[in-house]
A = this chain, B = another copy of it.
Amino acid sequence: MVRKLETHAALSEDDRRALMALPYTLRVYEPSSYLVREGDAPEQCAVLLSGFAYRQKQTGSGMRQIVSLHIPGEPLDFQHLFLDVADHNVQTLTRAEIATISRVALRELARSRASIGHAIFVNTLVEASIFREWILNIGRRDARSRLAHFLCEFAIRLDMQGVVDASGYELPMSQEQLGDALGLTAVHVNRTIKSLEADGLISRNRRRISFPRWEALRELADFSSRYLHLTQQAS
């Protein structure tokens, strides 16, 4: 579980044992629970075992922007591992099973075992790359491409994590939340979804989405998986 992501980032040998030996506590969170609040001094480091989560910031006037999504198996707090105060909120999207580790213990481990530190670093860099792609997506693509891009990214990431049956997946979020992730309103997300559906680029019932014309969608989305650094396994 913990090591799953570690391996995703870079190969470690038997320091998996060291990782597994870390004391952790398991807990189930309800949807929309806060795991980290902006302004907090993070003490724990959470790993998402099942369910989904997201990072979020708000403007002074209360508009919300979701800044990243996290799928089962991903660590949630590397972004704050070495920072003294949280600059954004982390929330569960669905009911989620979460393991928390002591931050100092993990830091110690990252320091003493180079390959673990390396793996964490790579994970952080890939997340940063995704942030950059989101800036491009929100800044420069219209609503249809933007949504399509989001759906493609989610599909690929779920696929890599082995969570998905190729035909499609269940979107774990409301259209309101989708809007918050894309910099759109819920109403316009709805129209955009229906527009993609009308063109046969996606099909769905309820929140389950499938991709009858994957290549066409990918092209509309202007999606290339380079920024996910999927081949960045070893070092």
A interface residues, Cβ below 8 angstroms from B: 38-39, 55, 57-61, 63-65, 67-68, 79-85, 87-88, 111, 114, 117-118, 121-122, 124-129, 131-136, 138-141, 145, 182-183, 222, 226-227, 229, 231-232, 235
- A229–B135 contact, CB under 8 A? no
13 more contacts with CB within 8 A, not counting A55-B132, A63-B141, are A60-B222, A61-B222, A79-B129, A80-B125, A83-B125, A88-B227, A111-B118, A117-B117, A124-B125, A127-B128, A131-B131, A138-B138, A138-B183
Looking at the assembled complex, report how far the CB atom of A74 sits from the nearest CB atom of chain B, in whole angstroms. 15
- A121–B59 contact, CB under 8 A? no
- B65–A136 contact, CB under 8 A? yes
Given contacts A57-B133, A65-B135, contact A231 B121 (CB under 8 A): no
A58 to B67, CA, bound (A): 20
Within the oligomer, what is the number of copies of this chain?
2
A136 to B226, CA, bound (A): 23
A118 to B110, CA, bound (A): 10
- B134–A135 contact, CB under 8 A? yes
